[in-house]
C-alpha cells in the first residue's frame, strides 16, 4: 500500500486512517493517545491537589516528540502570553512535532472555553448559570460561534466545554459551572453551545460524563451513589441531546458510581456511550483521571494497570499530560499485559478526528490565521463585548421587588456596600482566565477591562450620588468595616448591598472547583453586614454576584428588592446598572431554585412526592424562589392558554399560549410547560420541565406561541429499566415558573405503552406568530 494513501484527501477518512495505522510502530501508535502539558510547573505551589506528582515529563521534549504526539495542552491558557507570540510559539511546536516523527502528524491543541477562550486578553462571557438564566438557546449558540471562531483563529482545535452536569446539590462548588438543575434546560442550552462552537470547524467536549454533580455531601471528587433511574432520567439526557447536536468529544467524570470509577467503567464509556448512543468521536480523560485510578481510587496496581483499565473502559486520550499512556503502556503491551487491539481501537478514533480536522492532509500548515493579521491582535473586540453584554442583560434575574423600589429613580443618594461592589473579580467565574490563571500572576494585568458595579453606577446617566463602603470582605472582616457601611446606609436614600462569592479553585475562593460549602448561608460575615444595613431602616436592594444560590429566608421580608447576576462576565456591571436603573427590563429566569433554608440539601425542584413538605419531618424543603422564577418591571399579560383535545402515545400535542404586552416598553416572557404524571409505574418528580420558550414583545404587541410536544418527551425509566411512554392521564402545567402555573391542561394519552431509546424526540418544536 502506498504511503501516500493516508494523506490523500480524495480517499475516505476511514480508508486513510487504516492505511496510516498499518504503517505505524507500537510507540508511534501510543504517542497519539496522550497529551503533553509543557507549560506547567510543579514548583509554583499553586496547582490543584494530587497533581504535583504527575507534572514532570517522563522524557525530554526531543525524545517525547520523536514518535509523534496526540495533543498539546493549553498553550494559551497556562500562563499569560502575548497572543501573537503564543501563536508563533504554538506553530513552532507543531513544526517540531511534525519534523520529529516519521509521519509528520501534528497534535490536536485544546484549551478551556467555559466562559470564552481561557487566554490572556480574551473576552470573558457570562458563566453557564447565566446561560441557563437566559432560557435563550439562540443567544448561546451565537456566543458559542464567537468562541469557536476565536479558537480557529489561534490554531486551537478542541475546547473543553460545555459542562452538562445537572446541579443536584447547591453546596457543590462547581454549581457555577452548570447550566442549571433541570435536564431539559441543560440539554437545550448545552446543545446550542455545541452547535455554535463546532460551526467554526472545531470540537466541543462534553463534561463530565457522568454523575459528577451527584456527589455525596456536595463535595468535589467524592463518591456518587446515584441510582440507575436518576442517572438515566436526570443526568444522562443532557449528554444525549448534545451528542445528537454533533459533539465531537466527551470527557469522563472523576467520580466513582457505587464503587466503580467512571474512568474504568466500560458499561458507561463503551456500552452506553458507544453502543447505545452511537458516539464515534473521542473520549478524553479528565485531567489526571487515568493516574487517579491508581492513586485515588486504588483500583489499579500501577500506571500501566491504570492505562489498561482506562483503555478497556473506552478512554482514548490521556490528558493533560503523559503519565500512564506513555512508556509504561508500551512496556505492558510488549509483555502481553495489554491487548494491542485496545490501542488500535483508541488510535482509530483519534486519527479519524485528526483526519476530519484536516491535520492529515498533504501540505497542512500549522501557522494559524492570526499570524497573517496586521497590527495589534485583539481578542476582546467590540463584537465580543456587545454579545457578552447582551447575554449578561438577558440573564440578570429580578427575584423580589416591593413597592416599586426598582427601578431606581435618577439622582438618588446611593450607599453601595459589600465586598462584591468594587472589584472586577466579582463578575468572573472560576474558569475565566483572570480567575483560573491570572490570579497566580499578580504582576500581569487582567488583560481585559472589567468595570465594577461601583464604576457603573457612578458613571450612570441617571446621575446617582454614590458613596461606597465595603463593610466586610467575602471572608473575614471586622466591626469597624460594618460600622462604616451602616453609616453610609443610614445617610442614603437607598442602600445597594452587593454580596456573594469569590470564584477560585481548591479552597482559594467560596465558589468554584474544590470550593464546596457545608451550608448555604452567605460566606463569611456577609449576612451580618446585611442585617446591619437592614437595621438602619433605609431600603436595601440586595445584588447577588454568586456561583450558587444562598438562603435568604431570614431577610426576604425586610429586603426592598433582590437582583441576582450569578457571574455575569466582563460586561456584567453595565448590565446590572441597566437593570437597576430601568433602562433594561429584567428578563432572566432562575435556572436553579433558591432555598428558603439551606439545611434541606441535596434538593432541587425535581422532587418526587416524598420530597415535598410533609407532616412527618421538621425540615421544610419548599424553595424561596422557584425554578424558572423571574420578575419584570412590565409584566406580560397572559391572554389565553389552550391545548389539543387528545394525545396518542406516539403523537404530538400542541400547547398554544397568547401573550400581550400592554406596556410602553419591550417585555420578555419565558413560557414554561411542565409535566405532572398523577399515576406512574415508579415514583416520578411531581413536575418536570418539558419545554420552555422565550417570547419578546414590542409595546402593544400580541403574539401566539405554539409548543408542539411529542409523547416521547413524557417517557421515563420504568420498573423494567426500559424507557417507556405510558397511556393514561397526565397534566400539562403551563406558566411563568415551576411555582407560577397559569393553566393546567388535563389530557388522556391513548394508545399502547411504547418503549423508546436514544432516537426518541427530546425537544419540543416551537412556532411564534
Q: What is the mean pLDDT of residues 142-148?
A: 98
Q: Could you count the other beta carbons within 10 Å of the beta carbon of residue 662?
A: 15
Cα separation of 225 and 697, whole Å?
A: 45
Retrieve residue 495's grid coordinates: 442602600
From 431, 354, 424, select the one nearest 147 (Cα to Cα): 431
pLDDT above 90: residue 236 = yes
Instruction: Please indicate whether residue 613 or residue 44 has the higher confidence score (pLDDT).
Output: 613
Distance in angstroms between the alpha carbons of the first and the last residue of the chain: 60
56 versus 412: which is more confidently predicted?
412
Measured torsion, CA atoms of residues 398, 403, 407, 408, in degrees rounded to the nearest 10: -130
What CA–CA distance (Å, rounded) separates 511 from 544? 13
Mean pLDDT for 726-753 is 98
pLDDT tens for 649-701 read 999 999 999 999 999 999 999 999 999 999 999 999 999 999 999 999 999 99
pLDDT band at 1 (very low <50, low <70, confident <90, very high): very low
Joined grid coordinates for residue 519? 451550608
Integer Cα distance of 287 and 320 in angstroms: 5
- Indicate if the pLDDT at residue 712 is higher than 70: yes
DSSP 374: -
Helix (H/G/I), strand (E/B), else coil: 305:
helix
**524: Cβ–Cβ under 8 A, 6 or more apart, which residues?**
419, 472, 473, 474, 475, 476, 477, 510
Instruction: Give 281's strand partners.
Output: none
Q: Which residues contact 563 (CB under 8 A, 6 or more apart)?
A: 396, 397, 398, 399, 406, 541, 542, 543, 544, 576, 579, 580, 586
Q: What is the mean pLDDT of the chain?
A: 95
The residue-averaged pLDDT of 470-489 equals: 98
- Alpha-carbon dihedral of residues 430, 436, 440, 443, nearest 10 degrees? -100
382: confidence class by pLDDT, cuts 50, 70, 90: very high
Count of positions (residues) in the chain: 769
What is the spatial distance between Cα 662 and Cα 635, in angstroms, rounded to a whole number? 9
Q: What pLDDT is stored for residue 403 in this prediction?
A: 82
Cβ-Cβ contacts under 8 Å for 275 (sequence gap 6 or more): none
The stretch 128-148 carries a mean pLDDT of 98
Residue 546: CB partners within 8 Å, gap ≥ 6? 176, 500, 501, 511, 564, 566, 567
Find the radius of gyration of the CA atoms of the chain: 26
pLDDT-derived band of residue 38, with 50, 70 and 90 as boundaries?
Answer: confident
Ranges of beta strands (E only) in 116-226 are 158-160, 203-209
176 and 188 in contact (C-beta within 8 Å)? no
Distance CA 760, CA 758 (A): 6
Q: Which three cell numbers stand for residue 679?
A: 399515576
Residue with cell 463535595: 219
pLDDT at 768 over 50: yes
- Three-class secondary structure of residue 143 per DSSP: helix
State phi, psi for 299 to the nearest 5 degrees: -110, 0
Answer yes or no: is pLDDT of 53 > 70.
no
Rounded distance between C-alpha atoms, residue 56 and residue 54, angstroms: 6
Distance CA 724, CA 717 (A): 6
**Confidence (pLDDT) at 614:** 86
pLDDT digits (tens, 9 = 90+) for 358-379: 999 999 999 999 999 988 999 9
How far apart are alpha carbons 562 and 401 in whole angstroms?
7
**Residue 43 pLDDT:** 43
Lowest mean pLDDT among 54-58, 520-524, 604-608: 54-58
| Grid cell locating 48 | 490543584
**Confidence at 49, pLDDT banded by 50, 70, 90:** low
Segment 202-221 shows an average pLDDT of 96
Q: In what order do the strands lie in the sheet with 637-643?
A: 637-643, 652-660, 702-710, 765-768
Furthest C-alpha separation in the chain: 85
Helices and strands in the chain: count of H runs, count of E runs = 20, 29
Grid cell locating 521: 448561608
- Name residues whose C-beta falls within 8 Å of residue 618's C-beta, 6 or more positions apart in sequence: none
Q: By percentage, how much of the chain surpasses pLDDT 90?
A: 92
Q: Which helix (H) or strand (E) holds 19?
A: helix 13-21
Residue 454 grid cell: 461601583
User: Contact 543/497 with Cβ under 8 angstroms?
Assistant: yes
What value, to the nearest 5°, has the Cα angle with vertex 426 and ends 424 and 428?
Answer: 85
Q: What is the pLDDT of residue 58?
A: 66
Question: Over the stretch 240-255, which tens digit does the pLDDT of each residue have?
Answer: 999 999 999 999 999 9
Are 337 and 308 in contact by the 8 Å Cβ rule? The answer is yes
Identify the band that residue 222 occupies on the pLDDT scale cut at 50, 70 and 90. Answer: very high
* Nearest Cα residue to 115 out of 65, 178, 53: 178
Q: How far is CA 440 from CA 46, 127, 177, 437, 445, in A?
A: 7, 21, 21, 6, 11
Q: How far is CA 492 from the centre of its chain?
A: 39
Structure confidence by residue, pLDDT tens digits, 158-198:
999 999 999 999 999 999 999 999 999 999 999 999 999 99
Beta strands 667-676 and 728-735 are antiparallel
> Lowest-pLDDT range, 4-8, 67-71, 136-140, 152-156?
4-8
For the packed helices 572-581 and 382-395, what is the interaxial angle rounded to 10 degrees? 50
Q: What's residue 73's pLDDT?
A: 96
Rounded Cα distance between 346 and 64, Å, is: 20
Q: How high is the pLDDT of residue 107?
A: 98
Question: 646 by DSSP, 3-state: which?
Answer: coil
DSSP bridge pairs for 465: 413
Judged by phi (left if over 0) then psi (alpha if -120 to 50, else beta), residue 447 lies in: left
Q: How far apart are CA 129 and CA 114, in angstroms?
A: 11
Residue by residue, DSSP assigns 147-196 as: HHHHHHHHT--EEE--B-PPP--TTSGGGGGS--S-HHHHHHHHHHHHHH
How much of the chain, in percent, has pLDDT values that exceed 70?
Answer: 97
Is residue 3 pLDDT above 70, yes or no?
A: no
Task: Report phi then psi at 122, rounded to 5.
Answer: -90, 150
DSSP for 417-430 reads: ESTTSS-GGGG--T
Query: In degrees rounded to 5, what are phi and psi of residue 669?
Result: -135, 150
Q: Which residues, 6 or more positions from 566, have their beta carbon under 8 angstroms from its beta carbon?
A: 126, 127, 129, 130, 133, 176, 395, 544, 545, 546, 547
pLDDT at 620: 85
Cell, residue 348:
482509530
From start to end of 277-348, where are the E strands?
282-284
Q: Taking a C-beta distance cutoff of 8 angstroms, is the pair 294, 303 a contact?
A: yes
pLDDT, tens digit (0-9, with 9 covering 90-100), for 521-534:
999 999 999 999 99
Looking up cell 470547524, which residue turns up?
A: 201
Amino acid at each position: 500500500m502506498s504511503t501516500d494513501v493516508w494523506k490523500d484527501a480524495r480517499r475516505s477518512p476511514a480508508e486513510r486512517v487504516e492505511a496510516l495505522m498499518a504503517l505505524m510502530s507500537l510507540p508511534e501508535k501510543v504517542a497519539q493517545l496522550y497529551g503533553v502539558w509543557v507549560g506547567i510547573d510543579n514548583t509554583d505551589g499553586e496547582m490543584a491537589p494530587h497533581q504535583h506528582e504527575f507534572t514532570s515529563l517522563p522524557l525530554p521534549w526531543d525524545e517525547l516528540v520523536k514518535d509523534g504526539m496526540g495533543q498539546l495542552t493549553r498553550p494559551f491558557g497556562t500562563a499569560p502570553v502575548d497572543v501573537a507570540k503564543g501563536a508563533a510559539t504554538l506553530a513552532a511546536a507543531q513544526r517540531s512535532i511534525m519534523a520529529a516523527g516519521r509521519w509528520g502528524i501534528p497534535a490536536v491543541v485544546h484549551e478551556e472555553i467555559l466562559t470564552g477562550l481561557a487566554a490572556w486578553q480574551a473576552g470573558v462571557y457570562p458563566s453557564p448559570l447565566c446561560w441557563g438564566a437566559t432560557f435563550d438557546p439562540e443567544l448561546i449558540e451565537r456566543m458559542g460561534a464567537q468562541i469557536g471562531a476565536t479558537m480557529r483563529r489561534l490554531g486551537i482545535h478542541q475546547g473543553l466545554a460545555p459542562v452538562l452536569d445537572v446541579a443536584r446539590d447547591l453546596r457543590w462548588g462547581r454549581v457555577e459551572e452548570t447550566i442549571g438543575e433541570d435536564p431539559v434546560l441543560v440539554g437545550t442550552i448545552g446543545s446550542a453551545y455545541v452547535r455554535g462552537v463546532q460551526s467554526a470547524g472545531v470540537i466541543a467536549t462534553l463534561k463530565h460524563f457522568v454523575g459528577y454533580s451527584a456527589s455525596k455531601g456536595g463535595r468535589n471528587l467524592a463518591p456518587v451513589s446515584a441510582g440507575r433511574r436518576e442517572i438515566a432520567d436526570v443526568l444522562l439526557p443532557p449528554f444525549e441531546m448534545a451528542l445528537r447536536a454533533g459533539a465531537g468529544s466527551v470527557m469522563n467524570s472523576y467520580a466513582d458510581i457505587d464503587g466503580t470509577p467512571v474512568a474504568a467503567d466500560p458499561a458507561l464509556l463503551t456500552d452506553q456511550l458507544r453502543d447505545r448512543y452511537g458516539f464515534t468521536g473521542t473520549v478524553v480523560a479528565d485531567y489526571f483521571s487515568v493516574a487517579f485510578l491508581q492513586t485515588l481510587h486504588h483500583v489499579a496496581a500501577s500506571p500501566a494497570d491504570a492505562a489498561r483499565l482506562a483503555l478497556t473502559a473506552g478512554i482514548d486520550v490521556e490528558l493533560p499530560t503523559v503519565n500512564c499512556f506513555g512508556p509504561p503502556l508500551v512496556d505492558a503491551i510488549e509483555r502481553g499485559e495489554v491487548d494491542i487491539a485496545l490501542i488500535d481501537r483508541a488510535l482509530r478514533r483519534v486519527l479519524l478526528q485528526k483526519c476530519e480536522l484536516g491535520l492529515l492532509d498533504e501540505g497542512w500548515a500549522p501557522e494559524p490565521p492570526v499570524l497573517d493579521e496586521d497590527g495589534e491582535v485583539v481578542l476582546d473586540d467590540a463584537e465580543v463585548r456587545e454579545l457578552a453584554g447582551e447575554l449578561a442583560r438577558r440573564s440578570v434575574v429580578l427575584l423580589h421587588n416591593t413597592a416599586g423600589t426598582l427601578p431606581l429613580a435618577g439622582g438618588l443618594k446611593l450607599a453601595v456596600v459589600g465586598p462584591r461592589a468594587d472589584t472586577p473579580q466579582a463578575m468572573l467565574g472560576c474558569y475565566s482566565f483572570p480567575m483560573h490563571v491570572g490570579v497566580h500572576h499578580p504582576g500581569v494585568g487582567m488583560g481585559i477591562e472589567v468595570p465594577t458595579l461601583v464604576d457603573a453606577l457612578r458613571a450612570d446617566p441617571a446621575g446617582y450620588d454614590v458613596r461606597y463602603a465595603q463593610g466586610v470582605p467575602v471572608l473575614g472582616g471586622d466591626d469597624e468595616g460594618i460600622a462604616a457601611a451602616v453609616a453610609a446606609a443610614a445617610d442614603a436614600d437607598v442602600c445597594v448591598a452587593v454580596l456573594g462569592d469569590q470564584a477560585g479553585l481548591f479552597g482559594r475562593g467560596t465558589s468554584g472547583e474544590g470550593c464546596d460549602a457545608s451550608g448555604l448561608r452567605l460566606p463569611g460575615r456577609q449576612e451580618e453586614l446585611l442585617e446591619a444595613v437592614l437595621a438602619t431602616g433605609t431600603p436595601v436592594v440586595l445584588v447577588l454576584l454568586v456561583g450558587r444560590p444562598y438562603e435568604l429566608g431570614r431577610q426576604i421580608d425586610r429586603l426592598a428588592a433582590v437582583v441576582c447576576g450569578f457571574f455575569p462576565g466582563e460586561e456584567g456591571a453595565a448590565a446590572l446598572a441597566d437593570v437597576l436603573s430601568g433602562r433594561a427590563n429584567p428578563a432572566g429566569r432562575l435556572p436553579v431554585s433558591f432555598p428558603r433554608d439551606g439545611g434541606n440539601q441535596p434538593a432541587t425542584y425535581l422532587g418526587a412526592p416524598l420530597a415535598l413538605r410533609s407532616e412527618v419531618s421538621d425540615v421544610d424543603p419548599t424553595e424561596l424562589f422557584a425554578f424558572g422564577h423571574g420578575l419584570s418591571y412590565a409584566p406580560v399579560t397572559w391572554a389565553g392558554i389552550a391545548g389539543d383535545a387528545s394525545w396518542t402515545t406516539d403523537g404530538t400535542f400542541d400547547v398554544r399560549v397568547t401573550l400581550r404586552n400592554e406596556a410602553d416598553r419591550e417585555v420578555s416572557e419565558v413560557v414554561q410547560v411542565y409535566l405532572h404524571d398523577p399515576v406512574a409505574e415508579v415514583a416520578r418528580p411531581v413536575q418536570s420541565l418539558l419545554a420552555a420558550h422565550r417570547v419578546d414583545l414590542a409595546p402593544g404587541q400580541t403574539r401566539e406561541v405554539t409548543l408542539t410536544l411529542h409523547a416521547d418527551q413524557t417517557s421515563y425509566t420504568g420498573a423494567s429499566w426500559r424507557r417507556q411512554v405510558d397511556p393514561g392521564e397526565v397534566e400539562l402545567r403551563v406558566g411563568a415558573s415551576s411555582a407560577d402555573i397559569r393553566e393546567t391542561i388535563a389530557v388522556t394519552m391513548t394508545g399502547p405503552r411504547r418503549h423508546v431509546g436514544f432516537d426518541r424526540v427530546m425537544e419540543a418544536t416551537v412556532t411564534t406568530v
